[in-house]
Chain A
Amino acid sequence: MRHRAAIVGAGHTRFGALDEGPRALLRSAADAAFVSVDRGVDRSRVDAAFLATLGFGGWQIGNSAAVLGEEAGVSGIPTTRIENACASGGFALRAAVDAVGSGASELALVAGVEKMTDVPNARRRYWLGVSGDTEWERLAGLTFAGVYGLIASRYLSEHHVGPEALAAVAVKNHANGALNPNAHFRKPVRLDQVAAAPRVADPLGLYDCCPVSDGAAALLVVPAEEARHYTDTPVFVEGLGAGSDSLAVQERAHLTRFSASRRAAEQAFRSAGCDRSSVSFLEVHDCFTIAELLALEDLGFAPDGEAGRMTLAGETARNGRLPVNPDGGLKAKGHPIGTTGVAQAYEAFCQLRGTAGARQVPGARRALTHNVGGAGATAAVTIFGVG
């Protein structure tokens, strides 16, 4: 599957509590993606569009992909909404890669959008809870914070790790977010602040949770062999992997590993034909601090139970041995649900082309993105390289 598709343009709005609605956000992200194509591109050549969104804006769920066509100026072409909760973006990119890789599409637009901060708190929390098991888990009193709280309690107990391992993830990702002009949070935090924050779902406190953010991102995907018509520096999709698991966490054998992530990673590395040691940095799905520790282990970059120690030792810092979430991650950059997977690919695009500015990982040649739906019910892993 090596080099079936390439990304030749990418756009990203600011993340945070924004004034713009989903239409304006989609327009900004798509415009930015078109403008970023070095040799330019005629929008009329886009022949397929995929929209990743969970709630859109909390009001236009059905048929929202048509709005992407309108706002991107490509109305008329087939548009499809892809929904796998927080992993919608990763799966939308996968759909676009399949489309150009199979010859069905010559130029595909992928966009993600979420607008969550303009609805009342209760409705926002509704949207944050729709993607877990409703009957057994939500109605026992759990949101995703609660489900990840259960997972975190088990992880700390099983691996004899202290809560500072969780806090270290927040501190690192906030430090990275401070360098990212698009990030929702641009302030560093200290370990003691994280530890002292109110408990949301013990052992997870407020600083262990990603924020609720608005934002959009967009990518232009072309067949690999066409890529250099658009730019001298395309970013190739070298490997794709995806997996799924039971919706309810209570039905899984393991609480502290996501088999969907493990399967997705194995598949991605197999299709890319590369080793983990060749990966320059990771973008992982840190919706809660515990999720980054699980990700490092599920993706095969840390032995089980060792991710906390690795993080505390600074190995995953931006200047560490294996930078993780140089853009701030979901934790600091923000988590507009459907957008996140697309935004991770945007970061890979910038880093691998050396345009990431203050947060640039020096000499980045290969990137891995990891996008999880809910508490591991779905997962998509993508490996990017510059050939």
Chain B
Amino acid sequence: MARRLLCAAAYRPSGGNPGPSFDEDAFTIAATALERTSPQRRAEPSPLSLALVGEVPASLDWAWPVLLGGPVHLQRSAASASGLSEALRTAAGGSEGPALVVATGSLLAKTTPGELPTVAVAFRFDGPKGPGSEVRLEPADGAGSLVEAAIGLFRAHSAGDPGSQWVGDWAELARTAAAESAESPAESSTDRVSQGAYVPRARYLENLPSRWRFTAERCGACAGVTFPARGKCRSCGRTEGLTAVDLPHDEALVVATTVIGAGGQPTEFDPQVERRGPYEVVLAELAPGARVTLQVTDSTPGEVRIGDRVDSRLRRLYAMDGEWRYGRKAVPRPGSGAGPR
């Protein structure tokens, strides 16, 4: 038995135009690439293998099971083409449950320790392997970087297996590689803390499924959907017979929008406004009866309008108690909202 490579995806941040946006880091960049390979939550949480190749802080190891919605067997490989190759071989050769590999790094050169990755490539394997889909997992000679190696591996492999799917844009990666910038996010400090709005870490952790996966609860008795999940149906008050459902995190319908100008922001967002100016916040409908308030990122304030659809991505939200807190932010859908109205 062996696993089959089902899907690969690249995520190349462009909110920093070019480069990562101010609210991205190695964790969110890797998470975004991973999410592209696995749009659906596993119905029955089974142990999942996840190999991290490259710079993702070990201090966030606890976060992967939450993001992926079940137990995770976490492995780390060296940030090198051979490390990636080893991780892919292990994922392909295993047999129990799905396996994910995510490699983060720079597209053009080797990433030095501590440097922010500018691209991530994720691979999703699940068994069993089909006939004739022999995976060649040796990196091509002359790959300049880890990620180049990852892309080369997928190209070589997918040529032999029409069933595996690439989610992403090869052409875009190639075209924009030349424009890559070493720009790093400006906000890397957790020093400037909130003037009072406080969310204890335990409450932050408690609500992460709703934050990161848009986990809601569907009531078995009245079919009402409650978001965020609180262990109680908002429609009928029942606390039993609730089923956790992850609502789609893309294509949410914008029902209200505002642009927060200078002075309108809570103090937690002072550094952001000082450096980057106004930002947009929307109220978006994930499903009937389930709405969420999201800051909009990678966009021009005012770009998103009522009636638009927005996607969402995991980003840094705010700093508290010396750590970054993460959650979803809205991003405009490609091709929507760009034209004049």
Residues on A with C-beta less than 8 A from B314 are none
Asked if B259 and A135 sit within 8 Å, CB to CB, the answer is no
Sample 14 A-B pairs with CB under 8 A, ordered by A number. Answer: A125-B195, A125-B266, A139-B318, A140-B295, A141-B265, A141-B268, A141-B281, A149-B259, A154-B255, A198-B261, A198-B263, A202-B302, A249-B293, A251-B291
Residues on B with C-beta less than 8 A from A141 are 260, 265-266, 268-269, 279, 281, 295
- A97 part of interface (Cβ distance < 8 Å): no
Mask of A197-208 contacts with B, CB within 8 angstroms, 1/0: 011111110000
Asked if A126 and B267 sit within 8 Å, CB to CB, the answer is yes
Interface residues of A (CB under 8 A from B): 122-123, 125-127, 129-130, 134-143, 145-146, 149-154, 157, 198-204, 246, 248-251, 253, 255
Residues on B with C-beta less than 8 A from A151 are 256
Residues on B with C-beta less than 8 A from A149 are 258-260, 264
Interface size classification for chain B? 35 or more
Mask of B232-248 contacts with A, CB within 8 angstroms, 1/0: 00100000000000000
- Given A201-B259, A201-B261, A123-B195 contact (CB < 8 Å): yes
Asked if A201 and B260 sit within 8 Å, CB to CB, the answer is yes
Report the Cα distance A135→B325, complex, angstroms. Answer: 11
Asked if A153 and B293 sit within 8 Å, CB to CB, the answer is no
How many A-B pairs with Cβ below 8 Å? 127
Asked if B261 and A202 sit within 8 Å, CB to CB, the answer is yes
Of B5-13, B78-86, B97-105, B196-204, the stretch lying at the interface with chain A is: B196-204
Shortest distance between the CB of A88 and any CB in chain B (Å): 19
Shortest distance between the CB of B162 and any CB in chain A (Å): 43
Residues on A with C-beta less than 8 A from B234 are 246, 251
Contact of A139 among B195, B256, B268, B279 (CB under 8 A): B268
- B223 part of interface (Cβ distance < 8 Å): no
Residues on A with C-beta less than 8 A from B325 are 139
What 8 A-B pairs have minimum CB-CB distances, sorted nearest first?
A: A149-B258, A126-B196, A150-B256, A200-B264, A202-B259, A154-B256, A126-B195, A140-B293
Asked if A134 and B197 sit within 8 Å, CB to CB, the answer is yes
- Given A122-B195, A142-B266, A249-B283, A201-B255 contact (CB < 8 Å): no
Asked if A201 and B196 sit within 8 Å, CB to CB, the answer is no
- B262 part of interface (Cβ distance < 8 Å): yes
User: Can you name 5 extra interface pairs (CB under 8 A) apart from A141-B260, A150-B256?
Assistant: A129-B267, A141-B268, A149-B264, A154-B256, A250-B283
- B251 part of interface (Cβ distance < 8 Å): no
Residues on B with C-beta less than 8 A from A122 are 195, 267, 270
Asked if A153 and B197 sit within 8 Å, CB to CB, the answer is no
Asked if B262 and A198 sit within 8 Å, CB to CB, the answer is yes
- B317 part of interface (Cβ distance < 8 Å): yes
Asked if B207 and A135 sit within 8 Å, CB to CB, the answer is yes
Asked if A157 and B260 sit within 8 Å, CB to CB, the answer is no
Residues on A with C-beta less than 8 A from B292 are 136, 250
- B294 part of interface (Cβ distance < 8 Å): yes
Counting chain A CB atoms within 10 Å of each CB, the highest count among B261, B278, B318 belongs to: B261
Asked if B264 and A138 sit within 8 Å, CB to CB, the answer is no
